[in-house]
Amino acid sequence: MSGFHPDFGNVDRLTKQAVRPGTLRVYRLLLALGGWLVGRRVEQAVSSRGRRIWVYRPEGDGPHPALLWLHGGGLIFGNPVTEHDFARQVAAEIGAVVALPTYAFAPERPYPAGIEDAYAALEWLAAAPGVDPARIAVGGDSAGGG
C-alpha cells in the first residue's frame, strides 16, 4: 500500500484499481488501440492546438445544439473511445452535434495543457458547420467533468 496516505491502509480494493506507473503505459496503449480501431469510422477534426476531435452529427443540416464532452482518465490517460456509444446516442436521440476531444496528459504535459486543449476544441466546435454557437454545453465523465 505504499504511496497512499495511511488512512487508506484498510481499503483492500484501492490497490487493485489504482493506476500505477507500471500500468499507466499499458492502459494508454490499450485505449489508443481501441481509439484507433473505432476512430477510423468516426468523423474527425483537428483543433488549433493540433489535437484530434471525434465528431458525431445528427441527421439534418442544422444549426444544431452541441455538446463538448471530455473523456475521463484522471487527466493521465483516456481516449474518446470510452465515450463513443454515449456520443452516438446523444447525437441520434437529442439531435446535438457531439465533439469528443483528445487532450494532453500529465505528467508529460502538466496543467494547464489539457484545459487549453479542451478550450481549443470548444473554439473549434463553436465555429463548426451545422452548430448553433449559442447552444453549446460542456461536460464530461469523471476527470473530464472537472
Q: pTM here? A: 0.82
The answer to whether the beta carbons of residues 74 and 142 sit under 8 Å apart is yes
The range of the structural domain enclosing residue 113 comes to 6-145
Q: According to the model, what pLDDT value does residue 4 have? A: 56
Cα distance between residue 53 and residue 21, in whole Å: 27
ω into 63 cis (within 30 of 0): yes
Average pLDDT, the chain: 86
Q: Which three cell numbers stand for residue 31?
A: 485505449
Q: Find the CATH number of the domain harbouring 34.
A: 3.40.50.1820
Q: How many domains does the chain have?
A: 1
pLDDT digits (tens, 9 = 90+) for 10-48: 655 545 556 677 787 877 787 778 777 777 789 999 999
3-state secondary structure of 114: helix
Helical (H) or strand (E) element with 120:
helix 113-127
Q: Counting every residue, how long is the chain?
A: 146
